[in-house]
A and B are shown apart, each in its own frame.
Chain A
Amino acid sequence: MKLRFVAALIAAKILMLIYKIFNNERDDIPGLLACKICPEFLRYVSKPDLVVGVTGTNGKTSVASLIADILKLDGKSVGFNDWGANTTSGHARCLLGTVNIFNKPVKDAAVLEIDEVSSPESIPKFKPDYLIVTNICRDSIKRNAHCDYVYGNLDKALNIYDDMTIILNADDPVSFRLGNNRKKAVYYSIKKQTGVNQNKYNAPDISVCPECFSDLVYEDHKYRSIGTVHCSKCDFRSPEAKYVMTDYDFAKQSCVINSEYHRLLSDNIFNAYNMLSAYAFMKEYGLTENKIGEYLKNISLPPSRISMLEQNGVQFYTYLTKGQNVSAASAVFEYLSTVEGNIQLVLLLNEAYGKINSSETITWLYESDFEFLNQPNIKRIIVGGDLYLDYKLRLLIAGIPGDRIVCVKTEEETAEHVFTKDIDKVFILHDVIAVTKSKQLRSIIMKKFSEETL
């Protein structure tokens, strides 16, 4: 096996060099080759002094990015699979970059975003020092099936290897159970009382106690299934958190964590959780409060998530909203229901089901909470693409008046239907693969506003 590992390392390093010459460094193929030659490559490759894993359904890219930035600010050289390759070959490619040809570490740290479904194949092999689990929620059903399945896979990974600090979201009743009977589990929580959440969800991520199937009672309900909870019958309840955000102010971008004021990196609750998990890591890693405060002033969320441009008092957003990912999409819809001002939405969440690389089902449309978009200040919702008739029906069933819905055959046509009068904000909700497209569409819409409102 050792010989195979050496062959894999040399072959993959040569391939990396070729890719570098062709300016294509962010490709998994060298990692894939390494694992093909030596299936245990991840086990044998030397690791930097610090390995941080980030997994969970939502927020792992944001959290991993924050942690990589923090470590860089702390003077570390960091390897990070920031190109979205979060399975075995991506991890191998990332770790190839942290060792030399003699398998000696050349970087101080590796930050690895880990796909939660395939985690039993990766976590026990590269044995991170810290593992952050953001949450377990409903996602694309093709790979992730359902929350019990994802939980089972992560639990399996931790049953093989758990000798690390596991940082868990105490407000996520699906994933916090991963800390049960683990030696080094710590939790974070947001305790600012937001009142009783009266929102109804089509398909919550957890509806009954996972131990006894009785009803869950929320003491403090943030969104979807996130909040402080206990079972109406048995002992199941949210664990006590070591890191607690007791207050936050989105407008002022400030928050209080464990009695210290910090800059809040986001204007929404789900990114407040992402930031808090990064904070928990910093504390566990041993950074001082002063350094944490300083670093938080100098980092931001990855730019592909949310971007806003302002023109003549109108705000134009591109907003990542993962299609098929029920929990992420619903959280964005819920957030939009709280946004003030006259809004127009353009949805680039279309799955081109007629094409070769088409995606899966329309089941997610009915798990997701489009009902949140039925707000008087959301003046028009425009959808384009192959599923336009499915969207039309879905939005009507969500109770949205027909005169506010425009569904057209192609995404390109959507800009034509944006109206420019008395609008404060335009949101373009886009999938991961449509970042560039959303920005191009925003330019067209902004031009239209500029021409028609002059």
Chain B
Amino acid sequence: MKIEILYPKLCNIFGDSANYKYLELNLPKTQFIYTDCNSTPLFIKEDIDMVYIGSMSEKSQAYTIKLLNEYKEAITDYIESGKIFLATGNSLEIFGNYIEDESGEKTDCLGIFDIYTKRNLKIHHNSWFLGKYEDIDIIGNRRQFSFSYYGEKTSPFFDVKGGVGFNKDTDKEGIAYKNFYATYILGPLLIMNPYLTKMFLKKLNVYDGLKFEKEAIEAYDKRLKFLQEKKDFTIGFHA
């Protein structure tokens, strides 16, 4: 089995690397491929079982769009084939139609999903998140300058149970299409959500328990309880 990590040096600004490191810990026999900016993504030409991309700076985002634009059709084919693709943080925005900044300037994105993004670098959004995917409670952290908006054809990933959705006017979050999953939750999504990780490992047909499963579930249960009792999901002051 092969898992490809796209641009790990660029797309790891909020601890997102924890996701594939946890997968590595759980899948010692799997080949992990780390694709740098000067290389062609392997999933374009080889049989790859899962692709992951994490959060990035706005400057890196523009560059990543430029890099991936060349492979737009191949990315669409990969997604349509039903293979797993996971995108965390603002990486999801590159798969939409465009990103509009506070001055009104638009950057065209890959246009694979019918969403668009509005960004304002003067507004920091920080919050906890509580959501639901099928029967799994999802917990996580959000930290972003931008929000995205659904077009007519895009299906969300999570139902929002606490915190903010894809934008402040919707109770849906992320994108789920076939086995493409994208969410604004950033950082160690798979460590914070052991049941979601199990789901991915089962989809890959390699689930055999999780590394440190007991400890992961204890931490998850405690935070889930905390968030279920919480009213204000805004993240508080830090000196």
Contacts and interface: CB of A to CB of B under 8 A. Distances in A.
Interface of A: 84, 138, 140-143, 145-149, 202-203, 207-208, 213-215, 324, 351, 353-367, 389-390, 392-393, 396-397, 432-433
Nearest to A354: B226
Contact of B9 (A140, A208, A356): A208
B22 A397 contact: yes
Interface stretch (B164-172, B186-194, B195-203): B186-194
B148 interface: no
B43 interface: no
A148 B56 CA distance: 10
Given A203-B12, A363-B14, A390-B219, 6 more contacts: A148-B57, A149-B121, A215-B9, A359-B236, A363-B15, A366-B187
B12 A148 contact: no
Nearest to A209: B37
Interface in B210-239: 211-212, 215-216, 218-219, 222-223, 226, 235-239
Interface stretch (B58-66, B91-99, B155-163): B58-66
Nearest to A138: B13
B57 A363 contact: no
B10 interface: yes
A143 B4 CA distance: 31
Contacts of A214: 37-38
A392 B212 CA distance: 10
A392 B235 contact: no
A146 B13 contact: yes
B141 interface: yes
Contacts of B112: none
Contacts of A365: 15, 188
A392 B215 CA distance: 7
Given A142-B235, A359-B238, A363-B187, A203 B13 contact: yes
Contact of B14 (A208, A354, A367): A367
B119 interface: no
Contacts of B238: 140, 142-143, 324, 351, 359-360
25 contacts: A141-B126, A145-B57, A145-B124, A147-B57, A148-B57, A148-B60, A202-B18, A207-B9, A208-B9, A214-B37, A215-B9, A324-B238, A354-B226, A355-B236, A358-B235, A358-B236, A360-B236, A363-B143, A365-B15, A366-B15, A367-B15, A389-B218, A393-B191, A393-B215, A397-B25
A142 to B, nearest CB: 5
Q: Which 7 A-B pairs have the closest CB atoms?
A: A363-B187, A366-B18, A207-B9, A366-B15, A361-B141, A148-B57, A389-B219
B99 to A, nearest CB: 15
Contacts of B57: 145-149
B219 A393 contact: yes
B180 interface: no
A148 B90 CA distance: 15
B145 interface: yes
Interface string B6-50: 000110111101100110010000000000111000000000000
A207 to B, nearest CB: 4
A362 B15 CA distance: 9
Contact of A208 (B10, B17, B211): B10
Contacts of B192: 362
Contacts of B239: 84, 432-433
B121 A392 contact: no
A342 to B, nearest CB: 26
B124 A142 contact: yes
Contact of A392 (B9, B21, B219, B226): B219
A364 B191 contact: no
Contacts of A202: 15, 17-18, 21
Nearest to B19: A366
A225 to B, nearest CB: 12
A329 to B, nearest CB: 12
Contacts of B215: 389, 392-393, 396
Interface residues of B, number: 44
A142 B222 contact: no
A353 B219 CA distance: 13
Contacts of A361: 14, 126, 141, 143, 187, 235
A145 B144 CA distance: 8
B126 A360 contact: yes
A367 B14 CA distance: 7
Nearest to A84: B239
Nearest to B221: A389
A202 B8 CA distance: 11
Contact of A203 (B17, B216, B235): B17
Contacts of B60: 148, 213
Contacts of A396: 212, 215
Contacts of B186: 363
Of the candidates B212, B215, B235, the one having the most CB atoms from chain A within 10 angstroms of its own CB is B215
Contacts of A355: 236
Contacts of B14: 141, 146, 361, 363, 367
Nearest to A387: B219
A308 B17 CA distance: 36
Contacts of B38: 213-214
Of the candidates A208, A358, A363, A392, the one having the most CB atoms from chain B within 10 angstroms of its own CB is A363
A438 to B, nearest CB: 16
Nearest to A144: B124
Contacts of B143: 141-142, 145, 360-361, 363
Contacts of B10: 207-208, 213
Contacts of A363: 14-15, 141, 143, 186-188
A246 B15 CA distance: 35
A357 B237 contact: yes
Interface string B109-127: 0000000000001001010
A141 B219 CA distance: 22
A359 B237 contact: yes
Nearest to A390: B219
B236 A389 contact: no
